[in-house]
Amino acid sequence: MASSFPISGDEDVEILLTSDDQDDTFQLHSYVLALHSRWFKASISERWNGTKSTTDGGKDRWVYVLRFDKDDAFGLLARQEKATESENTTTEMITRKLPADASAAVKKLHKQRLPRVNAHKRVFEAMYHITPTFETSFQEARTSMLQVTEVAEAYECQQVAKIHVVNHLNFSRNDVLDSCASDPLQMLELASAVKAEWLFTEASIAILGLWRGAFAKCEPGLRAMGCWDLFQEKRAHFREKLMACERRLFEMQPAYCYKATAEMKGSGQLAIDFFRQWLSEQLSNDGGSHMKAGYAALYRDISRRQRKSDTTPDEMQQVTSFLTKCHSTLEESQVSKEVYKTFGMAASVLAPILKNKSMQQDNEGHSHRDLTFMTINASKIPWAQKK
């Protein structure tokens, strides 16, 4: 992961991220670091209080090394003074390569520490307006972006790093949207870290529509981010919307025109009766507002059944069986026509909750996708409330 910083000959800060790889040693400029980072501005300004780092031909130089607490993966830069490496026993530098006989525990810790090293590189690149490169796999890139954001926060240079992270998110938008649908809690964590409003909104849409078991699993993470109360409130509102729609479905009445014949009226009422029985059976199987896995399939099924071309022979057999059960003398074709009309009325009732507020568009492969009709207002986003 080599980086090329501009060389002008007046570099006065040396950064050592590992002890054995020249590519992890950078010659940088104190004024660039101080411009972007309040942490560096304060650290370098200590030269005025009589505490100086090394000198090079009479010119002051500041040397910073990335050090880790023993058995810890959280590393921070420390300014190297006159103390030697051997005098510091509480922290340690790491090597880029491990010896072949390293223990499993050492290898595991090393694997956790290396991303921290790479995140420091990316933050310094951002300070020099060099676009950091992230992994091809978005899942790996997501972890790296979180690390970069965390490191930038430690050195109080969040804004310069955020620009590059957000640009990468925009560049990878299709992957981002897929991840919001498949792993919304992790994407919400990333959105909160970089304060990306559009990403927070997209991830929250997916979380609010999760079936109840999946939503329950999000509670610890939402609590850790300080937004559990917000999501719990919106979730209650979400379910109230579902139940209100279901009540309206049961309250539907046949739609007659003024020229309707007795047969048409009878067929219309029979269609309503069929629909109510069918809906009761679906809800008794924990569909709809019970919000078990696949709950949204009921609503999408209702919307689909209004179209004759989308109705299967087995589904039409349900209508025939109901007519036989009722010993109706009405024409099956007329009743079937009214059934389609009834499902059309029901689809209109469900239209508000079948709206897709997500940036990821619905397609045929999303027939069992959870509902995505509810969003969180921008003014309710946690960092917006803290302003």
pLDDT tens for 180-214 read 999 999 999 999 999 999 999 999 999 999 999 99
The verdict on residue 150 lying in a domain is no
Q: Is residue 302 situated within a structural domain? A: yes
User: What DSSP string runs through 43-112?
Assistant: HHGGGGGT----EETTEE-EEEEEEEETT-S-EEEEE--SS-GGG--SEE---SS--TT--HHHHHHHHH
285 lies in a domain?
yes
Say if 376 falls within a structural domain: no
Using the 3D structure, point to which of 127, 155, 172 is the last residue of a domain. Answer: 127
User: Rounded to whole angstroms, how far apart are CA atoms 201 and 368?
Assistant: 21
Contact 67, 46 (CB under 8 A): no
Q: What pLDDT was estimated at residue 274?
A: 87
For residue 140, tell me if it sits in a domain.
no
- Judged against a pLDDT cut of 50, whether residue 44 lies above it is answered with yes
E-strand spans in the chain?
Answer: 13-16, 25-28, 55-56, 59-60, 62-69, 75-79, 91-92
H helices of 327-374, in order, are: 332-354
Give tens-digit pLDDT for 72-101: 999 999 988 754 444 556 888 989 899 889
Task: Count other C-beta atoms under 10 Å from residue 280's C-beta.
Answer: 11
In a domain, 175, yes or no: no
Helix (H, G, I), strand (E, B) or coil at 251: coil
* Domains identified in the chain, total number: 2
The reply to whether 219 falls in a domain is no
User: pLDDT tens digits for 245-293?
Assistant: 999 999 999 877 666 677 778 888 888 888 998 899 889 888 899 999 9
Domain that holds residue 333: 252-354
Which domain-ending residue is among 127, 156, 178?
Answer: 127
Domain boundary among 100, 127, 154: 127
Q: Is 254 left (phi over 0), alpha (psi -120 to 50) or beta?
A: beta
Q: Confirm if 175 and 360 have CB atoms less than 8 A apart.
A: no
Residue 163 inside a domain? The answer is no
